[in-house]
Structure 1
Amino acid sequence: MKKNIRKKMNGLTLIEMMMSITIFSMGIAGFTMLFSKTWKTNSYVLEMGQSSMNASQGVNKIVDYIRRVKQADDGAYPVKSADSNDLVLFSDYDKDGATERLHFYKSGSNILMGVTNPTTTLPKTYPTNDQEIITLVSNVVNEIDEPIFYYYNKDYPGDTTNNPLTMPVTNHLADIRLMKIFLQVNTNPNKFPSNIKIQSFVEMRNLNDYDRVQ
């Protein structure tokens, strides 16, 4: 004997439907907040990472140019002037056989390099002003009391009393044998609280046996 089984399909009440919608909305809101926070975090990491890479590449260029410092084509001493945020020296930075005058300095939030070529006629001379300006590093946020350049003599690190040299190193240019470059970089200081610190030492190799008589 067959029995008919009646299945009852109970629909959702209005209250149950409202609760379901509320729970679903809360889930969407939570997911949106999580996605937004994750996106901001990833954006911060990517932006600061790109800034750090660009700054490191710029510092590496500065280090390379300083390492190859040499006597100017007009016979001048390899280092012309040295201050906390301003450095002028001579180096064949583009390896074309001519020794250019390189002027490193901070302008706003950028580290710039002014390039001046010697004259092609004899006697060799250098024009007074920078002929070309190249941006090496951007988004620099060093404080006023945080120099970009530090200078050391041949006795460092044994002698920490007289090192780093007092700036500007006007009367002791021939004593410089080692330099430190220190940068703090931040793409958006108002948005990102942590700065990226980049520090590099560079030895002026060609000055080790240089005749100090100027």
Structure 2
Amino acid sequence: MHTTNSPNRRAFTLVELLISIGIFSLLSMAIAWLLITSLRSNEIIWRQLSTQNDARQVLQEVVDNLRRAEQSDIGSYPIEAASSSGIIFYANIDEDGNRERIRFWLDGTTIKRGIIHPTGEPLTYPVGNESIVEIAHASINTVQGTPLFSYYDTAYTGTEVPLADPLTITDIRVVRVQLELEKNPGQSPVPFHAESVVQIRNLKEN
């Protein structure tokens, strides 16, 4: 028996091929989109986790140091200066028997720490000897209008408003530290907020 390929059969096969290619392309695009979305989501999650870790480390360091604040080696009051964006105080943070001059402050979007060890005879705290390191980045405290430091007196129970400017340094007994961090504003769902409250042990009155 003699058979021939009909034009309709060839046309139908071509249509099937085009449909198959179209379906394959759509599936490929969908899979690629899912992969890209998943990778971006994972990246955002890891950045958020990294931000949380940074915030916890900063809070722990600031709180641990502030809690130890005490009179300097030259007799200065435990707290030298205090504002919403920075604080300077004295504390023995390295167990060497001397009280270091500690400074934490917000510089733009970077939180920094400065340490000065007392030196000389008689002892002094030379500002030129300050060792400065950056301990956190991507702070948006200023943008959010959130003070890095807030201060409270002996009446603090947890609900009081902070002491108002101008601050009287000798009134400070409790310090609230608040961090607003956002490493990638275009991708983070919300800024990460962390805070802690520390009572300065050597200034407690009861």
Same fold (TM over 0.5): yes
Matched, 1:86 2:82: no
Structure 1 or 2: larger helix share?
2
Partner residue of 2:106?
Answer: 106
Distance 1:110 1:149 in 2: 15
Q: Which of these residues, 164, 175, 182, is aligned with residue 178 of structure 2?
A: 182
Partner residue of 2:198?
Answer: 202
- Letter in structure 1 aligned against 2:110: N
Contact 2:148 2:177 in 1 (8 A): yes
Gaps of 5+ in 1: 1-9
Gaps of 5+ in 2: 1-8
- Letter in structure 2 aligned against 1:190: G
Partner residue of 1:143?
Answer: 142
Partner residue of 2:131?
Answer: 132
Matched, 1:72 2:72: yes
Quote the offset at 1:167 in angstroms. Answer: 2.7
- Letter in structure 2 aligned against 1:185: L
- Letter in structure 1 aligned against 2:154: K
Distance 1:130 1:109 in 2: 24
- Letter in structure 1 aligned against 2:35: F
SS of the residue corresponding to residue 71 of structure 1 reads: coil
Matched, 1:156 2:156: yes
SS of the residue corresponding to residue 198 of structure 1 reads: strand
Contact 1:84 1:148 in 2 (8 A): yes
Quote the offset at 1:191 in angstroms. Answer: 3.3
Write the deviation string for residues 42-67 of structure 1: whole angstroms up to 9, x where unpaired.
11010121121012111110110001
Distance 1:129 1:69 in 2: 22
Alignment: residue pair count: 196
Contact 2:181 2:193 in 1 (8 A): yes
Change (3 A) 1:165 1:129: farther
Contact 1:102 1:115 in 2 (8 A): yes
Runs of 4+ in structure 1 over 4 Å off: none
Contact 1:81 1:89 in 2 (8 A): yes
Change (3 A) 1:91 1:168: farther
Where do residues 56-71 of structure 1 align in structure 2 (5 Å cutoff)?
A: 56-71=56-71
Where do residues 10-29 of structure 1 align in structure 2 (5 Å cutoff)?
A: 13-29=13-29
Identity of aligned residues (%): 31
Please give the TM-score of this superposition, normalised by the length of structure 1: 0.85
SS of the residue corresponding to residue 143 of structure 1 reads: helix
Distance 1:188 1:177 in 2: 36
Contact 1:104 1:111 in 2 (8 A): yes
Distance 1:94 1:40 in 2: 42
Where do residues 157-172 of structure 1 align in structure 2 (5 Å cutoff)?
A: 157=157, 160=160, 163-169=161-167, 172=168
Contact 1:114 1:130 in 2 (8 A): no
